[in-house]
Structure 1
């Protein structure tokens, strides 16, 4: 009986009431990625560990949380650490996650230990909560594969999208948007890397589809605001539609992810609303929005309250390790 009480207490401790934004209040989180699976929404975040005197980003792992109602979030800990990529040196930056053929894939940018600059790795798991393991033992993309810009951090912010015909794409970049097809095994590029010219593109490309239209959202200008374009396919051509979220006050980044869950639409992003927050101590938040009749996304204000409860009747039990 005592053991059962201990287990119950541990479960309760891992579940915290949403109670408005930010989603996570007991640590600094950034760069949200979202996956809806079996009636549950999984939120993957970066983990800011910098102090007020560190002076730069300090990120060593990724975190994962899940919810059945957009209100109560279960903390599943860290499904993937920087050290899980043996070829990586530092900087567990913004990742993205997808599911294919019963497996879960994280695409994660890190600073490479031997190839100067950032690289993108891919890790795989049988469960959305991990643990994830390096799927290749080497980087999928390295800085010497991309020569479009003379900076070492242009291979960051990967976003993965699987089209209706099963073709998977990887998007990424800083100052220049890049994309490539992925092979069905999800751990190899399938063909050349393409670039896409975009007005004032900075980083954080994210592709989703709604009502037959493809939406490419991204961080525009610096300090960043969230803007988006629409197109008839996963590769465009793209039409600029406008800014949908203003820049933050105390951090220059914002980094969005857009998802439908239980009949409603949401945008995740980060700001600095947790006490002590700042440029490299950020916090993930979420807002509900509705598409206009013509399919456009309205301007979305950041709020303290966040979305209303949206319980999922088909919410599956948490898949644990």
Structure 2
């Protein structure tokens, strides 16, 4: 049986009724938190923490990576790093991280609960990672969490962090040490709209109270835009909301500018991540909107916004709609991972060394929606999926723009191993469309554990190709490469379905 996150249909039944027009939270396959977006080239990389589905508290042991090129479809790249990458870390406490690229190397700054802030170095945004210091880069006290890092125009890099306080250092060029000492940023009312005061109550107990209209709490996110420095942070104590300050220098002084976003639904914490991508500005945060969500089981959301003419940030409402307009279109004629998702119901991802990430434990009625695929003027003639049967027989219905508009049906009941299955489309599909992959049981008395689903690809009319199964480039070995010549996971069987008959490759 799936865990509660995978039975969210009751909690978000409006999504199904609206054919998935809502996009928040952007990840529906697991609980994600503490978003850390970074833009590199044509891709936005989103690093998240993973909240434990089964218990309360922050039981966190690894970080997940998602990517997008269009801001509506997110590809699950799997576990990108974990506590195992730090030999000095314990077995819990993989908290909010941030990743940055410099000189073709990637640096992940990650706080480990009560143990300081470590740094991993990788050759790509996917890793693999190593811990060159074998110790924390910052280990001042228990408030060393929520690192944020940026590189200024002059090449100087800065690392900020802190809960119930804010500190920063100037990093060296190798990003593994810092010059000078740790600098504390004063939490004044002028800088942050409010500050905390410690006092002794009538019972002789030390307490903290907020003075002023706002208050820095944690989760800083520092960046530079058009000559101005921005510091967005979780504010106001518990429950938290998002506020921000601005400065003319990374060293301050900071000036409080106001509230950005209210306390998120279902969560007493929030965590910002702000980027510009393909001409638009976006703010990421987390909420507790998924079924079973809470302050300890959160989910990443995103909103698009526009800066005011003077560079200030407006108040940004949280929406279930999220970002629904793609900044670019995906080609359906390239092999696409099944875990590329705009919206899903009942879907879970899993991964292993052999296949990478794939959709797992698909039940009757589960579906995946992929937005804004450009089929061009010539259109597609057939579609291939790579899947395999689990416990019960099932099929995949391929639908265009609506779950009621099926254009192909692929039987997975005989695919006992990973198999490429191809079917003709009932109609030629041209232009830009959303595509649904809908999972159905052959016998509705056995509705669960139907199949696993790894990747898919459409074949265009313009090639004159009968099917993926019958057109292989020179040197192509069945199941080893896709049509563009890129190597895939491992050899698979192939079955081509035409006129209701099955043909082996």
TM-score range, shorter chain: 0.7 to 0.9
- TM-aligned CA deviation for residue 18 of structure 1: 9.2
CA distance in structure 2 between the aligned counterparts of 1:219 and 1:235, rounded to whole angstroms: 20
Per the alignment, residue 385 of structure 2 pairs with none
Task: Tell me whether 1:110 sits opposite 2:112 in the alignment.
Answer: yes
- Show CA shifts across 1:197-246 (max 9, x none): 22321101111112211111111112111000011011211110000000
CA distance in structure 2 between the aligned counterparts of 1:284 and 1:297, rounded to whole angstroms: 20
8 Å CA contact 1:33–1:45 kept in 2: the answer is yes
Task: Tell me whether 1:127 sits opposite 2:124 in the alignment.
Answer: yes
Q: Which has the larger radius of gyration?
A: 2
Match runs of 1:64-213 below 5 Å: 64-89=65-90, 90-111=92-113, 117-142=114-139, 145-146=140-141, 152=142, 154-198=143-187, 199=194, 200-213=215-228
More strand by share: 2
SS at match of 1:76: strand
Task: Tell me whether 1:215 sits opposite 2:230 in the alignment.
Answer: yes
Task: Tell me whether 1:59 sits opposite 2:60 in the alignment.
Answer: yes
- Show CA shifts across 1:132-169 (max 9, x none): 22132111111xx35xxxxx2x0000000100000000
Structure 1, unmatched stretches of 5+, are 1-16, 112-116, 147-151
- Show CA shifts across 1:35-72 (max 9, x none): 10111100000000142xx3311101000000000001
- Show CA shifts across 1:52-93 (max 9, x none): xx3311101000000000001111111100111110112000
CA distance in structure 2 between the aligned counterparts of 1:286 and 1:18, rounded to whole angstroms: 14
Using the TM superposition, name which of 193-202 and 277-286 deviates more: 193-202
Match runs of 1:1-80 below 5 Å: 20-51=23-54, 54-80=55-81
CA distance in structure 2 between the aligned counterparts of 1:309 and 1:209, rounded to whole angstroms: 26
CA distance in structure 2 between the aligned counterparts of 1:229 and 1:118, rounded to whole angstroms: 29
8 Å CA contact 1:228–1:241 kept in 2: the answer is yes
Structure 1: 4+ residue segments shifted above 4 A: 312-315
- TM-aligned CA deviation for residue 19 of structure 1: 5.3
SS at match of 1:70: coil
- Show CA shifts across 1:15-47 (max 9, x none): xx9950111101000000011011110000000
- TM-aligned CA deviation for residue 124 of structure 1: 1.0
Q: 1:314 to 1:164 in 2, by over 3 A?
A: farther
- TM-aligned CA deviation for residue 252 of structure 1: 1.2
What TM-score, normalized to structure 1?
A: 0.85
CA distance in structure 2 between the aligned counterparts of 1:27 and 1:99, rounded to whole angstroms: 27
8 Å CA contact 1:18–1:73 kept in 2: the answer is no
Q: 1:314 to 1:192 in 2, by over 3 A?
A: farther
8 Å CA contact 2:111–2:145 kept in 1: the answer is yes
Match runs of 1:227-306 below 5 Å: 227-306=243-322
Higher RCO, Cα 8 Å, sep 6+: 1
Using the TM superposition, name which of 281-290 and 124-133 deviates more: 124-133
- Show CA shifts across 1:251-275 (max 9, x none): 2111001000001000000001111
8 Å CA contact 1:24–1:284 kept in 2: the answer is yes
CA distance in structure 1 between the aligned counterparts of 2:226 and 2:330, rounded to whole angstroms: 23
SS at match of 1:77: strand
Q: 1:180 to 1:23 in 2, by over 3 A?
A: same
SS at match of 2:79: coil
Q: 1:99 to 1:38 in 2, by over 3 A?
A: same
Structure 2, unmatched stretches of 5+, are 1-19, 188-193, 195-214, 337-355, 357-488, 490-505
8 Å CA contact 2:67–2:75 kept in 1: the answer is yes
CA distance in structure 1 between the aligned counterparts of 2:325 and 2:179, rounded to whole angstroms: 41
Root-mean-square deviation over aligned CA pairs: 2.1
